[in-house]
Amino acid sequence: MLNLTANPTLVLELALVGVAFGALYSLAALGIVLIYKTTGVLNFAHGAIGMFSTFIAYEFGVVRGWPAPIAVLLALAFAAVFGWFMERFTLRPLRDRPVLTRVIVTLGWLLVLQSVASLIWRDTSYHIPLQLFPQNGIRIAQLTLGYNQIANIIIAAALAVLLALFLRFTSLGVAMRATSDNPTAARLLGIRVNMVAASSWILGSVTAAIAGLLLAPLTTLNTTQLTVVVITAFGAALIGGLTNLPLTFLGGIFLGVAQSLLILVIPPQIGGAKDVLTFAVILVVLLLRKEVRVLAISAIGGEGL
């Protein structure tokens, strides 16, 4: 039965849960936008990188019982090294090839990471994610807000602000913006385009890992669930026009809240409703915003079709 007359407290609780999820979607989307702005390629392996990094933290922090900070550092280190390796050895040699070729490479890495993770950890839902924050929370009036939800919102928002400041005020950030505007001119000005591209992939991959680590305790930890987060992150990135970081962050929040409130009109027993909502938002954005449609087609190699 559809719950169309939910009380305001329930609506507010669902909205807060949605904000917690949406902040993490935004964080993942910011990594996608960062890589796209610098290299012009949509990284479809973004969610898989976050998934594999999260399982690394699970392996060392849960299975082997190492301290959580060390497990997190190992996960982030893997993401950084893998992002560098992926750009240096599989994408940089193809820089002069059509964008579609490089997009297919990212799809290939998605399949590789998911297959290897399934072989190592099995594609089941019985994994216990590494808990970074207490599961209890604080009660405000009739609302209960979990410490993990509060932490997710704060961390995601802080990282989004730091990323924006980094791009605006640091020499590497300025070089990234210059490279995204005109790679040829940036190279003529002495900017090390290869270093800039590698740095973008490293930062983007680390944001994927952070999003995965924070999202895992709120959802099911398996090799599929975290990988498909890239779909929602892609939706947030499209809302931001694949270039606008603040709008991308707000797009992730919007999708998180919309997915959470969806339970009020669609029974939770009906699976896939959240994915349908995300695809609907992506379709609407592509239909209504021509400039985003052009960028999206270019980002998946449509100029060569």
CA 41 to chain CA centroid, nearest Å: 15
- What's the pLDDT at 73? 97
pLDDT bracket for residue 153 (50, 70, 90)? confident
Architecture of the 8-123+141-304 domain: Orthogonal Bundle (1.10)
pLDDT bracket for residue 140 (50, 70, 90)? low
**Which residue did the predictor score with more confidence, 36 or 301?**
36
pTM given for the model: 0.90
- What's the pLDDT at 4? 46
Per residue in 34-43, pLDDT tens?
A: 999 888 888 9
pLDDT beyond 60 at 1: no
- What's the pLDDT at 304? 43
Span 142-171, average pLDDT? 85
- What's the pLDDT at 180? 74
State the CB neighbour count (10 A cutoff) for residue 103: 18
Domain locations along the chain: 8-123+141-304
240 contact partners, CB below 8 Å, separation of at least 6 = 29, 33, 246, 247, 248, 249, 250, 251
Per residue in 48-93, pLDDT tens?
A: 999 999 999 999 999 999 999 999 999 999 999 999 999 999 999 9
**Which residue did the predictor score with more confidence, 73 or 263?**
73
- What's the pLDDT at 2? 44
Which two tokens mark 281? 């938002």
- What's the pLDDT at 289? 79
pLDDT bracket for residue 5 (50, 70, 90)? low
- The CA distance from 71 to 69, in Å, is 5
Which of the residue ranges 89-93, 137-141, 195-199, 277-281 would you say has the lowest mean pLDDT? Answer: 137-141
